[in-house]
Amino acid sequence: MQRFDVVIIGGGCAGLFLAEKITDRKYTCALVDKDPVAGHASTRNQGWLQSGSFYAAAGDPSAAEECRSGYEYIASKYPGVVLQAAPSFCMFDQKANLDRALDACGALGIYMERLDAGSVHSLFASNPLLQETSLTHIAKTGDHPFDTRKLLQGIADKIGRNGASYYRTRCMAGVEARPASHAGWVIDIQEDQLSGEVLVLACGVYMKEILQGLWPSKANEMNLTKTPVLVIKGERPLSDCALMTPLIESGPVAPNIVPFGRAGIEGVSVCLSRVDAPATDATDEDLANLPFGDFKAAFAKSLEKHYPGIKGFVERYETAGHFYACQKVKMPSRGASIEFHEDGGRMLAVYYPGKFTSSPISAEKCAERIMERLRGGTSGAAVSPRTQTRKHAVVKQQLYYEESQYKLRTRNGILEFEGLLST
């Protein structure tokens, strides 16, 4: 049995950044994930590095503050992953909402600047999607798209050099954790058995399953949702800037449009935050094939309502899109959630980072607390770094740039998605 100070189940942004913080401090750490690692929310999200302006505008100052710190950390430490060429704008349907957002950002020290009429005009002229938008109260923000895969690969490489061990499992159900008869935990992963003084569950939506066996009352409190994301690619990108719509009082869904790719910008992802649906226990493969009949109509309606210019755009350019579902853990706050359970010789941490953007900051907080425990030295675990990685973790972008399943088109003046697969 391999023995570690800390065993982390889940190698998304939460687990990888935490492993970095632990191995930087020369403690031994094992990271357990599927292969390829980080194939869930961390590489399927919108890839939007959030300055905090969105949450400040939406009235959630604590999530805004966490994003502000995470944004500064990532932008200064990993400038190569940030798509600086794509600017970002926050769009409002009413002037009063923009005024409130400016005040909220000002109070938190987050950059947001009202665009004057001349700047709005030239922004609209250079961005086809905006030419007929109904959201005319606009502010510039410091947000940018970023390459989450590239960032996580850098962290995976670093923790490998730091001596962390990476264990892979073929399926999620293949990992079982249980209290050891002595201090610590035993973790079974198919042919391997590990032990750790501290066990961290950083496995996103799969946290609930493992927690159910270890701490059922906490598992029952967890609310899981799935959020459909629309990816649009075409002959020309829909937008060359990120367009955020945090406060739309008049509509049920408010699309946020984030461009992805590098220099030429390959397309955009559109996330409709208010169409969260209860999560299923769908397997990874099922997620790619969920029937999105209702969501398709909701997406088209919402896009058309808030970005009417999109119709003229799709009439002129061939544009195609596909959906994928990304499951997430819904906590009472939109910020990070770190909970510890201690019982004699062992510690269990249940860790969800809130946003990808804030994950380096919440990982640091989580590591600090774990360090307090390890420095207490109840188990006498070794503190020298391991010299060999068991397997190298390779991060792969999942389902983000895959083949399109729908074509976006207008029929009788109405925007709709035409199924490419069903015809």
Ligand X SMILES: Cc1cc2nc3c(=O)[nH]c(=O)nc-3n(C[C@H](O)[C@H](O)[C@H](O)COP(=O)(O)OP(=O)(O)OC[C@H]3O[C@@H](n4cnc5c(N)ncnc54)[C@H](O)[C@@H]3O)c2cc1C
For binding to ligand X (CB under 6 A), which residues are involved?
9-15, 32-34, 37-42, 45-48, 50, 169, 172, 175, 202-204, 206, 227, 229, 271, 326, 328, 352-353, 355-357
Contacts of 265 (CB under 8 A, 6+ apart): 83, 86, 237, 240, 259
- We find the least distance from the C-beta atom of residue 378 to ligand X, in angstroms, to be 26
DSSP state of 204: G
Whole-angstrom distance, CA of residue 297 vs CA of residue 406: 12
Whole-angstrom distance, CA of residue 207 vs CA of residue 187: 14
What number of residues does the chain have? 423
Which is nearer to ligand X, 322 or 355 (by Cβ)? Answer: 355
Which is nearer to ligand X, 140 or 355 (by Cβ)? Answer: 355
Q: Where are the alpha helices (DSSP H) in 162-267?
A: 207-214, 216-221
Nearest to 139 by CA among 247, 251, 249: 247
- We find the least distance from the C-beta atom of residue 210 to ligand X, in angstroms, to be 6
Q: Which two tokens stand for residue 283?
A: 């397997």
Which is nearer to ligand X, 207 or 415 (by Cβ)? Answer: 207
Whole-angstrom distance, CA of residue 334 vs CA of residue 132: 32
Nearest to 328 by CA among 152, 176, 208, 168: 208
- We find the least distance from the C-beta atom of residue 189 to ligand X, in angstroms, to be 8
- We find the least distance from the C-beta atom of residue 87 to ligand X, in angstroms, to be 16
- We find the least distance from the C-beta atom of residue 44 to ligand X, in angstroms, to be 7
Residue of this chain nearest to ligand X (CB atom): 12
Which is nearer to ligand X, 129 or 229 (by Cβ)? Answer: 229
Q: What are phi and psi of 203, to 5 degrees?
A: -105, 35
- We find the least distance from the C-beta atom of residue 205 to ligand X, in angstroms, to be 6
Which is nearer to ligand X, 202 or 370 (by Cβ)? Answer: 202
Which is nearer to ligand X, 37 or 56 (by Cβ)? Answer: 37
Which is nearer to ligand X, 189 or 379 (by Cβ)? Answer: 189
- We find the least distance from the C-beta atom of residue 211 to ligand X, in angstroms, to be 11
Q: What are phi and psi of 249, to 5 degrees?
A: -80, -20
- We find the least distance from the C-beta atom of residue 146 to ligand X, in angstroms, to be 8
Please provide the DSSP assignment of 330-388 as one string.
E-SSSS-EEEEEEETTEEEEEEE-SSTTTHHHHHHHHHHHHHHHHHHTSS----SPPS-
Which is nearer to ligand X, 60 or 379 (by Cβ)? Answer: 60
Q: Where are the alpha helices (DSSP H) in 78-147?
A: 95-108, 117-126
Whole-angstrom distance, CA of residue 199 vs CA of residue 194: 11
